[in-house]
Amino acid sequence: MTAPVGPGKLAPVTSPRKTSPLRVALALALALAALAAPACVSKPTMQLDHAEITGIRIAFPPSLGILMTVVVNVYNPNSYDVAVRAVRGQVVLAGRYMLPVDFRADGDGVWLPSDRTTPVRVPIHMPVDLGLQLVRESFSSPVIPYRFSGRADVTATRTFRLEADDYSVDDHGVVARHQIEAALGVMR
């Protein structure tokens, strides 16, 4: 194709480069791979660290309880941050007293830096009558055994907000009997 340049002269005009379907498909495949790479969430590992009695809880409707906090160490093996949005499950104290766990993190969750272990604190409400029962039954022992089993809901990356659920933990530990006694002593 030519276009007039001056009186009687024509200059060549280059046409836009034609894009082949193969090039379009390759560019699309690369773009999808870049977006899908963060979707491959490596499973964070969760391990029980310890439990502690952190105080008392007064709630409405009127109820009084002991606040037990289970600390779970979560290792994020990914090259990007992930967030724990919720933890659900149960704690079984002394092999027979089950307490439900339903922790929902504030905001976007507890963000865990990449390639690090971060402690996640999961609060559990223990009724006062159960605390008294545990202290009576464990009179000859300084600790009360418990089992924490549950699942965590995780969001991968702050940018794409990819959600994955059911990362599990099932572990045993002990809580010091004197911590429960101290919490009960505060309530007298």
Using one digit for the tens of pLDDT, what is the confidence trace for 48-102?
999 999 888 887 777 789 999 999 999 999 888 888 999 999 999 999 999 999 9
Contact 118, 76 (CB under 8 A): yes
- Are residues 104 and 140 in contact, defined by beta-carbon separation less than 8 angstroms? no
Query: How does residue 2 score in pLDDT terms, banded at 50, 70 and 90?
Result: low
CB-CB neighbours of 50 under 10 Å: 14
In this structure, are residues 156 and 38 in contact, taking their beta carbons and an 8 Å threshold?
yes
Quick one: pLDDT at residue 32? 45
- Look at the pTM and tell me if it is higher than 0.85: no
Provide the CATH number for the domain formed by 42-186 in this structure. Answer: 2.60.40.1820
Q: Which two tokens stand for residue 187?
A: 């309530």
